[in-house]
Amino acid sequence: MNIQLNGREITTTARTLRELLAEQQIDAGCVASAVNGQFVPRNQYDSLQLEEGCQLEVLSPMQGG
């Protein structure tokens, strides 16, 4: 299926958000995610089903000073 990940189109076989993060080698414990503009709590990463054309944003916190 084709989805948007951080503004770029990718093709994936992942069915859930957790599968997609693993496929993309993104540590699910260190990011915040939103699907179609809606924040997704980490406890829903296993159950959130991805759909063709969905828009996913994955953000990592930054530190600095």
Would 65 be classed as within a structural domain?
A: no
In a domain? residue 6: yes
The set of residues, in sequence order, having a beta carbon less than 8 Å from that of 64 and lying 6+ positions away, is none
**Looking at residue 29, which CATH number applies to its domain?**
3.10.20.30
| 38 is a domain residue | yes
Per-residue pLDDT tens for 21-63? 999 999 999 999 999 999 999 999 999 999 999 999 999 877 6
Task: Establish if 15 belongs to a structural domain.
Answer: yes
Kindly state the DSSP code that residue 47 receives in the 8-state scheme. Answer: T
| Residue 64 maps to a domain | no
Q: pTM of this prediction?
A: 0.88
- Whether 9 is covered by a domain: the verdict is yes
Quote the domain boundaries for residue 20: 2-59
- Taking a C-beta distance cutoff of 8 angstroms, is the pair 2, 53 a contact? yes
